[in-house]
Chain A
């Protein structure tokens, strides 16, 4: 069993597991931090941005970095299935499923599929809204890249940077998704069973169990133990794993999500009270639901009742609507609301009372209805594309305004770089609800996997906080670290396989008790293997051979493989054996003691029986009936296996 690691990014994993002749890709996250190397794509012409020096403004296309061009490590067309753990970890899907010869199936939960589709649609929309007259790719050539200025010269693996996919590719990729529910058991080729488990991180997010009858691999990716909107994490099903692959821990191990949320609210209120605007660059699904819920409770007490909240994204409406229809994927409290029936998320009420308004973009209705001061939620959190670029240009110059970063995926300083100098206040409240090191070590103590595999980043403290030994995984035995492009041999020893004995054969078996509670039976069977499932059935009786006239012909034929005789165990006790012989009319027995046992001389029959602890030897000449009798008598005292 092998693990091919195609991504070094611990929260945007992409690993391939080869297990019992199946090839399973675990997630395909897309690392988009490379967009920080590019200039923002403004919706309105910005003379300031176009005059900035030092940036290669000629190259127009924002490129998204693909996880890895994995062709050297393994042939992507051999992948049988892709298991998706949450909608953030599927953004590279079109790169994998299209144009690589992939013919397999992708498994994901319904919310993951629907929200993942929205997130992809949003990115494509952001890109297509600002088409570029020209795009360049030659600079990616190593020779040319060397001569480029600034940080671009030092960017690694630019040749893996790809253009953003099209909606057509997204649709084609998503058409390969097969929906699954939590704890659903999906059989892969009869050899392996995979099953998603609730991971508590986002709507429909899952960890995966990959198992056969005797081996179990758990894949833990992006899990949360905090009580937010999703169904709580299923921990107990992770027990008894041989190997646990651990990815997607919090990127902000020192930032407490609850504290951040409090800071978010107080900064927001302070800015609004002072007459400024608040900009929240965010993804259009996920933490935003919790932010809105938090604000719903906060608005009245902070007397923000009249402040307009705007959510601007091409998929804003869909995201808000979709969040309300996934009752079975929500935490218990939200489920109970649906039974009433009431919408599970309070943003329905915010919309109904006109406190929250959503728009597909800044153009159209928004421009006429827009009132300040206000709070705007919009993307993309990298500040390089999407409607957020416009608000940065609009509000950046005033110190009354505040930008509050809540998404942990991008360095906020890098994100802000092209907008400097900036007068607006910046607040960094990254909210990452994924497991921290304390929670994960508790979890591992609980579920006790035999081996843990994790990104190498988790095996040492962060570079900037090298003294914090609490910010790493310390396990016994130590975890097996991986980095991008490593291939790990997972420590597995497969020893058993499941077979099914058909009823007819099962009924014909003759068990005998060897020890108290332990019985054995010898089995001779025909093995049928189909679709990786093995069944044992009785050996068909050979067709009756017509009594052959020529004996020679029998000899010409190769020997018929008969059921072999069982192995024997035990010892033949002398006294009891002599008594038995006597009963069968063999009375003249001379017993001679030897070093290892006895020799019995059956004088009338001129036959020797050598009885020893671990063997019996019958020396009997031309007397077949006697030999058979003696054999059967000896067998009486022995166990057959």
Chain B
């Protein structure tokens, strides 16, 4: 039975949101991400953990949980999973994720419980207890979860602190990555190395898009904002508090400075200042340009961007407002949107992906009449623009990643089925590797074929190297013979002689002797010498020796001649060999017989 790796998405299988992927590899079970779904308000909001166990805690079934980044669709179910379902094992995430994740969770909890009045939800205390189980990860640090399971984080560049993880058990491995963007390479730490995992699990949110260059998109964005401001309109940019928002802020800040613009820019949430503070303290996790200049001028100290107060929304004149959350599904961004939607001078710019069910998704699909709570309808007259700034991987990024890591198999999650299908085809065609896209609750199985690590005795290896010479010759493979000793967990490959010695065994010699009667008038030594010369002339390339003790050796076959006392012509030829060295006995025998009977 071949070893295999099983991957089962509990969320994000042919779907966007609620990322949660179970991986079992080399007898270890790992949960990758534990997110919530923005499009649902019921049970479907969280992954279905009953798949792992019907009742009882998850601790016995999981060796560790790894969170890739702080977005709620990747960590939103964490306190529910650890505190309400029950999990006490280690949860790994990077330092920035560990810092920011609890704030977003608390925010999420407040909206759900305090504003919407839901009960049976996790509490503030549960968030705290959950975070106590977190073990922070450093980039490139090899973390030994236990004796066999090893994980290593790489920079992913998606949002502050986002990481790819390399999971390894013995010689089997899996790489899980969120949305790596190609700008990740601008970070000082190297990208992932050619680690040739058995499976590369990647998000595929923008599977079919090959986006314009970042600079093009930025220029486009600034142009649209500028035009709206010029005609006296208001611009709403729904964002998540942390992530792309900070990059867009930097962009607008420098543009305002350069163009000497006066229209106010606001950032809506109380988180802003805090968020920017995180960026300042975790500056080593941002891109190189920002890091390089941070001592002279910290990019996250803004001159033009001010805190928003809800009363400002009714102020006359142009303004730009960044408001949370990013998909217009609740909170302040939705409130402002309702206020401004009626005026065609205004604009909303959606800078990221919107999941099905959110208002963001609806207006992006061209819906112009929205049903609001209480049967009211909202006419959408303002301009709706979509600019994919969110740093999810696009097709090009994923292809680059495959070229980089050289996986044996590919597995897509966190994307829409149709788009995944397209990308799957492309990957299978271009790289000739299998590509899987399991749905939620469906298991993809990949059989691996690991090689077996063994400790070889240096003597044996060196002997072999010395024989074979330094260069491998394809025509004459260098063969090595030895004995593999399997004891408990150790595998040792040694020469057979050493194996006998190490195991305390005696060698048992098995020998064979064959007697050939013949008539020959010469003396015994002469006969032997004739045999020797003849063998030597016939068997080229064989080792043939005439030893001083009156024997001839062909390879390891010993040949002796003796004659009886009565008749010196009647001679007995003795051919003798050991069990290990008898291959050429027949060759030797035939030649000698032919010589003697000539």
Binding site for B on A (CB under 8 A): 110, 179-185, 195, 213-214, 317-318, 321-322, 324-328, 335, 338-339, 341, 343-344, 494-503, 506, 509, 511, 514-515, 517-529, 534-536, 539-540, 552, 555-559, 561-572, 613-622, 627, 631, 634-635, 638-639, 641
- CB of B216 within 8 Å of the partner chain: no
Q: Are A534 and B140 in contact (CB under 8 A)?
A: no
The answer to whether B480 and A618 have CB atoms under 8 Å apart is no
Residues of A within 8 A of B451 (CB): 500-503, 506, 535
B369 proximal to A (CB < 8 A): no
Complex CA distance for A338 and B509, rounded to whole angstroms: 73
Central interface residue in B95, B140, B450, B459, by most chain A CB within 10 Å? B140
Beyond A496-B492, A500-B452, A571-B508, is A566–B483 a contact (Cβ under 8 Å)? yes
Contact of A614 with B508 at beta-carbon distance under 8 Å, contacts A184-B141, A524-B481 already known: yes
A-B contact list, 15 entries, CB within 8 Å: A184-B152, A325-B280, A325-B281, A335-B136, A501-B454, A518-B485, A519-B486, A520-B484, A526-B477, A536-B454, A536-B480, A563-B479, A566-B580, A567-B483, A567-B499
| B472 within 8 Å of A (CB atoms) | yes
Stretch touching chain A among B335-343, B396-404, B521-529, B533-541: B533-541
Give complex CA distance A81, B197 in Å: 28
A213-B511 Cα distance, complex, nearest whole Å: 41
The answer on a CB contact under 8 Å between B283 and A325 is yes
Q: Are B455 and A506 in touch, CB under 8 angstroms?
A: no
| Choice from B452, B457, B497 contacting A501 with Cβ under 8 Å | B452
Contact A620 B580 (CB under 8 A): no
A214 to B457, CA, bound (A): 11
A529 touches B516 (CB 8 A): no
Query: Do the beta carbons of B461 and A527 come within 8 Å of each other?
Result: yes
B541/A556 in contact, CB under 8 A: yes
Q: A183-B142, A338-B95, A502-B451 are in contact. Are A518 and B503 (CB under 8 A)?
A: yes
- Contact partners of B281 in chain A: CB under 8 A: 324-325, 327, 338, 341, 343-344
**Minimum distance in angstroms from B497 CB to a CB of chain A:** 7
Nearest CB in chain A: distance from B596 CB, A: 14
Q: Which of B152, B461, B509, B584 contacts A534 (CB 8 A)?
A: B461
Cβ contact within 8 Å between B487 and A631: no
Chain B residue at minimal CB-CB distance from A332: B136
Inter-chain CA distance A615–B465, complex, in Å, is 33
Instruction: Determine if A179 and B188 form an interchain contact, defined as CB atoms under 8 angstroms apart.
Output: yes
* Contacting residues, chain B, for A517 (C-beta < 8 A): 487-488
Task: Kindly state whether residue B555 has any CB partner on chain A within 8 Å.
Answer: yes
Cβ of B294: which chain A residues have Cβ within 8 Å of it?
A: 321, 325
Is B482's CB within 8 Å of the partner chain A?
yes
CB of B217 within 8 Å of the partner chain: no
Q: Is the CB of A631 within 8 A of B484?
A: no
Task: Give chain B interface residues in 82-109, CB to chain A under 8 Å.
Answer: 95, 98-99
Q: How extensive is the interface on chain B, given as a class?
A: 35 or more
> Per-position contact with A for B541-565: 1 when CB-CB < 8 Å, else 0?
1100000000000010000000000
Most buried by A among B98, B152, B503: B503
- Chain B residues close to A by CB (< 8 Å): 95, 98-99, 136, 138-143, 152, 171, 188-189, 274, 277-278, 280-284, 294-295, 449-459, 461, 464-465, 468, 472, 477-488, 492-493, 496-497, 499-500, 503, 505-516, 538-542, 555, 579-580, 583-584, 587, 591
Question: Is the Cβ of A497 less than 8 Å from the Cβ of B540?
Answer: no
Q: Is the Cβ of A328 less than 8 Å from the Cβ of B481?
A: no
User: B457 touching A328 by the CB < 8 A rule?
Assistant: no
Docked CA distance A325–B98 (Å): 16
Instruction: Report whether B453 and A566 are in contact in the complex, using a CB–CB cutoff of 8 Å.
Output: no
* Contact between A534 and B456, CB atoms less than 8 A apart: yes
Q: Is the CB of B583 within 8 A of A559?
A: yes
A627 to B505, CA, bound (A): 26
Give the docked Cα–Cα distance between A503 and B170 (Å).
14
B171 smallest CB distance to A (angstroms) = 8
Closest to B543 in A: A559
CA distance A605 to B282 in the complex (A): 90
Decide if A514 touches B503 in the complex (CB within 8 Å): yes
Contact A614 B514 (CB under 8 A): no
A562 to B493, CA, bound (A): 19
Q: Is the CB of A569 within 8 A of B508?
A: yes
Per the bound structure, the CA–CA distance linking A324 and B281 in Å amounts to 7
**Cβ of B477 and Cβ of A540 under 8 Å apart?**
yes
Q: Which residue of chain A is the closest to B494 with respect to CB atoms?
A: A496
In the assembled complex, the Cα of A534 lies from the Cα of B505 at a distance in Å of 29
* Distance, CA A195 to CA B141, complexed state (A): 9
Query: Is B455 in contact with A496, judged by CB distance below 8 angstroms?
Result: yes
Would you give the shortest CB distance from B473 to chain A, in whole angstroms?
Answer: 11
A518 to B, closest residue via Cβ: B487
**Least distance between B391 CB and chain A CB atoms (Å):** 22
Beta-carbon contact of B455 and A568 below 8 Å: no
B580 partner residues in chain A, CB cutoff 8 A:
564-567
CB proximity of A130 to chain B, nearest CB, Å: 25
Residue contact A617 to B499, C-beta cutoff 8 Å: no
**Contacting residues, chain A, for B539 (C-beta < 8 A):** 555
From A497, A506, A523, A558, B483 is in contact (CB under 8 Å) with A523
Decide: B496 and A183 in contact? CB cutoff 8 A: no
Is B505 a contact partner of A569 (Cβ separation < 8 A)?
A: yes
Report the separation of the CA atoms of residues A536 and B488 in the bound assembly, to the nearest whole angstrom. 22
B458–A495 contact, CB under 8 A? yes
CA of A627 to CA of B512, assembled, Å: 8
Task: List 7 A-B pairs, minimum CB-CB distance, nearest first.
Answer: A558-B541, A615-B509, A569-B505, A500-B451, A184-B140, A567-B496, A496-B455
A569 is contacted by which of B95, B506, B583 (Cβ under 8 Å)? B506
CB-CB under 8 A from A631, the residues of chain B are 510, 512, 579
- Determine the residue in chain B with the shortest Cβ distance to A501: B452
* Complex Cα gap A318–B294 (Å): 9
Chain A residue contacts of B497, Cβ below 8 A: 567
Q: B138, B464, B510: which has the most chain A beta carbons within 10 Å?
A: B510
A509 near B484 (CB under 8 angstroms)? yes
Q: Which residues of B contact A322 (CB under 8 A)?
A: 295
Question: CB-nearest residue of chain A relative to B514?
Answer: A621
A324–B497 Cα gap in the complex (Å)? 62
**Which residues in A have their C-beta under 8 angstroms from that of B503?**
514-515, 518, 520, 641
**Cβ contact within 8 Å between B510 and A568:** yes
Q: Which residue of A lies closest to B483 (CB)?
A: A641
In contact, A341 and B189 (Cβ under 8 angstroms): no
